[in-house]
Structure 1
Amino acid sequence: MAAATTTTPSTALTMKLLVDSQRWRVVFAEAGKDTVDFLFSLLAVPAGTSVKLLGKESMVGCMGNLYGSAERLEEPYVQPGAAKDVILGAAMPPPAAVRPNSWVFPLPAPAPAAPAPAPKKFYNCGNSYYRNNCGSYVTEVSGTCCPNCGNRMYTETNLVGSPQPVDAKEPVRKGFVQGGMVVYTVTDDLVISPMSNVSTIALLNACGVRDFGMLQERTVQIGYKEGLEILRASLQSKTVLTDVFLGKKPPSASSMKNGGMKNGGSTPQLSNGTRRDSLSWRA
């Protein structure tokens, strides 16, 4: 996999998983605005950049072959002035719909600031002091003939009352989804919707959850590594959250210290060490 400079979001992205410890899978996750903004931002990652980040050998399908073909193509067969980087790794600035702390992938180095333009100079006729009509004319080109007397206009003058340039400010990115008290449900296959009691019960039924005592709550953080794995799994799997945060095999009963089976494996436990016979959900 190609090396990449990592960036750390100003606010850690977190997600609360509801894990079925019996079947060892994520039933669904609870996520806030910034995490959901990040998940939606994956739609803005260029295909070539995805291959570059993940490595062409790990790609499912033919995208890796396509990337390798462009990579191997020699200069005589490439259009003059065409840059391979545009195809192989397009610049990936954060989309306008994503706030800076919702973007966990590396950003390109900022472009150097353009030098300030030289101030303009203005010239008038040297006879302006003696002839009032000459003072009515001003030019930016030194040596221009005065329309009144025909004298060359070499006398430098100052223009007053010009508006000061206003620095363009980057628009504040508010993100894609609403924040505040709104919480979102993220399923294992990345179906995202606002959380509600009805949708939660429907998801539990759809996943065949019958024993609430086997459910665990687990809070995970999403950084560059996790973001990269989510991107990879989203292109290859229908069980993204399970693959990224749980892995393929459940831990042994003896190693499940938080949210696992304790007391010889006879009593289902949650992360706080207490048995939960019923669940209450936030609307």
Structure 2
Amino acid sequence: MAEASGDFVDVLFSFLSLPLGTITRLQSEGKFPHSQPFEIGCINNLYRSVKGLNPDVFWNKICKDMLISPRNPLEASCQKLKVKVDDTLPTKYFMCHSCSRNKDLLVVLVSTFDGARCHCGKLMKKETELLVEEPKEEENGVFVKGDAMFLIFDDLRVIRSSPGNSVQPLLKHRYKDLSKMDRVVVDLGVNEIFNILKQALTSKSPLSDAFIENKESKPSYTFSPYTGPSHLKDNFEIKVIVSKSQNKVLFAEANADFIDFLVSFLTTPLGSILNLMNAKLSLGSIDNLYTSVKKLNPSWFTESSNKSLLNPRVAPQFGCKSNNLNASQDTPKYWYGTGAVKDNMGRIMISKRKDMVQDPKEVKLFEPRCCDGARELAVGFMKRPCLFVVRDDLQVIPITTTSSILYLQQLENIQLNDLEEHLVEIRKSHEVIKIHNSLLTACSFAAIILVQENLIHINGFS
């Protein structure tokens, strides 16, 4: 086991705030040092597929950027960590230079995405500072109390450090002579933290695998169908093309609604997925980290940070309506006016608090998935109408009337009379949870839609 202060435990718990798209991006960019690329279910293929899609299939370029670089829902807290895992650029705020100075406008937009176009037609390029309230006193820790000491076991279970808590694991492993235990001090930097994150997602003994040289790592992630409660709502229907001779799913056809539903998992943080799965993800040791947050006494956390870690939810504006379990955090209200403090007096600034600016005027947050940014939440990320093929390895391919024939020609050793078409009904909510689990633990789309008997209703195919 390891013993460490709250600073290290803060970093461990921050893993729960990472969206799946961020974890996959960090791996694809070689952030995990001294390790071979590792695949986590189908999510790597889904990420690479989205990254390779032509921007024309999205509502705009911003939509694609939102999926391959999703925003951390606990960004403000994670920026305070001693070692930062998420290197996504901090949120910036942009306004239209003309509209921000027009006092007669009823609606003025502020965007958290660079390059957005204002409803007046001009680009929103004027970067505006967010005015935040200064903390009254120096904060003690990020998620847990910084001066507290914790025990971290090899499987990433975290408990409060005390002599009594230290005894039980030693007895469990039949240690009798404390003089034979070695004490090793480890300096942790970015590389070491990334190594722990990788092992947390793939191993049942992440600390040993990260710190003991020449220890053979045994990957541990298993596919297990979700059998929790069902909350039936609307349904999806997709067309599945099957090879009769191979008894194999070749690909599925789906519209933009289902693709939105699928790619929205990239914006979902680990903590929210574990919340949906009741901490039974069967993925490395990450379940134990989540359960530790659940079991630790709330008094060891800063304010209500334990609740935010147990269900971070998706960052504001990054949710998807077609995935009703991919709910965004509430979009905050913003006000803009001139700064009232000596250091920013006279400057136009925005704030989440009306009383922090002079002559405050409410501004509307730009919605990146609408053509003018001023309407309510748009539907998903993909343009309508559009048809897609989802391959067995979860590659997503937009299909047109010309490319569909070429796609069939690319299927090796397939005869047309060997193909069979089936309609698959996917019931939302309950099946969303199943697919969350399958994306991370199954190795093919066929496993996602076929292995779980309760997921589909196909006549004549088994």
Q: Structure 1 length normalisation: TM-score?
A: 0.56
Whether 1:51 aligns to 2:255 is: no
* Aligned position for 1:145: none
| Distance (whole Å) between structure 2 residues aligned to residue 221 and residue 178 of structure 1 | 22
Structure 1 residue 183: Cα displacement: 1.0
Whether 1:236 aligns to 2:236 is: no
* Count of residues paired in the alignment: 195
* Aligned position for 2:301: 79
| Distance (whole Å) between structure 1 residues aligned to residue 431 and residue 227 of structure 2 | 16
Q: Which runs of 5+ in 2 are unaligned?
A: 1-225, 334-361, 366-373
Verify the 8 A CA contact 2:267 2:319 in the aligned structure 1: no
Q: Which runs of 5+ in 1 are unaligned?
A: 115-164, 250-256, 262-283
Structure 1 residue 238: Cα displacement: 1.6
The verdict on how the C-alpha distance between 1:46 and 1:170 changes in structure 2, with shifts beyond 3 A counting, is: farther
Structure 1 residue 107: Cα displacement: 4.7
SS in 2 for 1:57: coil
**What letter is aligned with 1:239?**
S
| Distance (whole Å) between structure 2 residues aligned to residue 55 and residue 83 of structure 1 | 19
Whether 1:176 aligns to 2:396 is: no
* Aligned position for 2:103: none
Write out the 4+ residue segments of structure 1 that deviate beyond 4 Å after TM superposition. Answer: 1-5, 92-97, 106-111, 165-170, 257-261
Q: Select the structure of larger CA radius of gyration.
A: 1
SS in 1 for 2:448: helix
Whether 1:218 aligns to 2:441 is: no
**What letter is aligned with 2:236?**
L
| Distance (whole Å) between structure 2 residues aligned to residue 94 and residue 221 of structure 1 | 30
SS in 1 for 2:380: coil
**What letter is aligned with 1:228?**
I
SS in 2 for 1:61: coil
Structure 1 residue 237: Cα displacement: 1.4
* Aligned position for 1:269: none
The one of 314, 325, 329 equivalent to 1:105 is 325
CA RMSD between the two structures? 3.9
Whether 1:193 aligns to 2:385 is: no
The verdict on how the C-alpha distance between 1:201 and 1:63 changes in structure 2, with shifts beyond 3 A counting, is: farther
The verdict on how the C-alpha distance between 1:21 and 1:104 changes in structure 2, with shifts beyond 3 A counting, is: farther
Structure 1 residue 216: Cα displacement: 1.8
Whether 1:34 aligns to 2:269 is: no
What CA deviation, in whole Å up to 9, does each residue of 1:11-41 have, x standing for no partner? x322111112333321001111111111111
SS in 2 for 1:84: helix
**What letter is aligned with 2:302?**
P
**What letter is aligned with 1:186?**
V
* Aligned position for 2:342: none
The verdict on how the C-alpha distance between 1:107 and 1:3 changes in structure 2, with shifts beyond 3 A counting, is: farther
Structure 1 residue 85: Cα displacement: 1.6
| Distance (whole Å) between structure 2 residues aligned to residue 246 and residue 85 of structure 1 | 35
**What letter is aligned with 1:47?**
L
Structure 1 residue 200: Cα displacement: 3.2
| Distance (whole Å) between structure 2 residues aligned to residue 13 and residue 248 of structure 1 | 16
**What letter is aligned with 1:176?**
F
Q: Structure 2 length normalisation: TM-score?
A: 0.36
